Structures are given as structure tokens and as C-alpha cells.
Structure 1
């Protein structure tokens, strides 16, 4: 059986980072990451890309959890604000604040072990069927989920 770290699907990138999903339901999401040296920037704190990944995933999981049809989501856009250094164990919580038939509008926050806000984000996610897009022949554009 493939280890999914609590996620509903196998996501190799998140498994490689060590991200754990502890909650995904219609009320929101929660994921965790115990920072290691490999997650840090030159100032010995969480790299901004790691924080953005946590926010993106927390929001995407919240969007998926809010969809009664169980579709996947793809990120359309996201905004991130960095507020404090990320160190130790980080917890990201996501919430779907509005949903339409095709989009989820979500927010997420990352806190450290002391409950201090490290980063916040908001994003727009498009619902898609759980079929990865196929690569087009060389020189042609990719065909997305809408085909």
C-alpha cells in the first residue's frame, strides 16, 4: 500500500517534503511540517517556497473538502504574506470561504508551535475532474482539463 501521509491521494512532492495531512473535511483542512535543515533558507528559517507550498496545499485541500462532487482542484492564483520567521513545527490551516460550481475561493494561515502567525495566503482554485491533463505532441499547446 502506498503511503499517503494522511492525504487522500499519493502526492510524491509532499511526501518528499514530509508534509502530513491531519484534517480534510467540509469545514477545512490542517497540514503539518516539522522543519528540517533542508527546508531552510540561508537565515536558518523556513524557505518562502516551503511556506507557499504549505499555504497552497492547505487551501487546495480545503477547496476539495468543500466540493460535494469530490473533484480535484488546480491553483489559478494565490497571494502570500510573510509575517514572521518559520521555525520548528509548522501547522497550516485552510478554509474555503466561497464556492461556485467551478471555483473555490480559499484562505490559509501557518502558525508555529507557539501559535504565532508565520504566514497567510488566499487563493482561487478551479474544480477539475480527477484526470491529469495529457501532454500534447511537441510544439503544440497542452490540453487542459476542459480539453
Structure 2
């Protein structure tokens, strides 16, 4: 199990803007997260909360939490150690349970692949604030996209 840490995370969303020098589409940029770590079966992303991430009540929006945990759980099953290549998956199902709130600081989102075959895998996720409080838990089922079922993935 090889662990890759930024700034070298070849097929990771290092600052959610670029993958291996290629600019990502809008939604990843809109969220503004950064990749804390990414290895086989586990991905960790972090987000410094800004006013745009809050709901009308002044706490983090549930859609932001759900989006981030979806990304981390998908990444947990799609790590690709080959430079210039990546693996992709689509979400088949996602369940999120909200357990807490926060309105400032940095949140940490961890996704872990729990089981799966070559095309379908299951992951769980957790979101914590910078004090260690649990904000959300999630589980999801994902399907590898064409070509991503192989460890070498597809060209970026």
C-alpha cells in the first residue's frame, strides 16, 4: 500500500483545481477543497469553510457535506498510482446522516473503501470539524467507469 502526499498526488485533486496539470470542471473548483492524502482504499480531503459554504442558518450546508463525502468515498475506490492516469467512478447510491454542525474552521472528510469487486465497490465516509466533532457519516455504492476497472486506469 503506497501512500502519496501532496504536493505529489499524481491523479489527485490537489487543490481541487488541477489533476496532473489539467484544470478540473467547475463543481470541484466551486467547492474549493484540498486533497490532504490519497492512497489505496482511503482518501482525505479538507475544506476551509467560507460564507459560500453556509446555509441561511449560518452553518455548513448539508449539500456541501454530502458533496464532499461523495467525492472522498469515490476517491477511496479509485486511487491510481500510475503517473498521468486516473480512475473514475459514478455514484450509484449515497446515504448521508447529519450528526452535527459548524460554521467556521476546517472540516476533514475521510472516505474508505470497504468492499467490492472490479466494477462495483462500497465505501463509507465521515466528516469531522477541526475540534474532532463528528458532523456527518455516509455510505455509498459506486461503479467504475469504462477503463477504470483496471489499476492503470485511463489517461488524464
TM-score band by shorter chain is 0.7 to 0.9
1:60-111 Cα offsets, whole Å, 9 max, x none, are 1101028999531000000000000033211000100002121110000000
1:48 counterpart residue number: 62
2:153 counterpart residue number: none
RMSD of equivalent CA atoms: 2.5
| Bigger Rg over Cα | 1
1:74 counterpart residue number: 90
1:5 counterpart residue number: 15
* Deviation, structure 1 residue 12: 2.7
Contact 2:98 2:136 (C-alpha < 8 Å) held by counterparts: yes
2:114 counterpart residue number: 97
* Larger RCO: 1 or 2 (CA < 8 Å, sep 6+): 2
Structure-2-length-normalised TM-score: 0.74
Structure-1-length-normalised TM-score: 0.78
Q: SS where residue 64 of structure 1 aligns?
A: coil
2:140 counterpart residue number: 123
Number of residue-to-residue matches in the alignment: 129
Structure 2, gaps ≥5 residues long: 1-12, 149-156
1:112 counterpart residue number: 129
1:135 counterpart residue number: none
Runs of 4 or more, structure 1, over 6 Å off, are 66-69
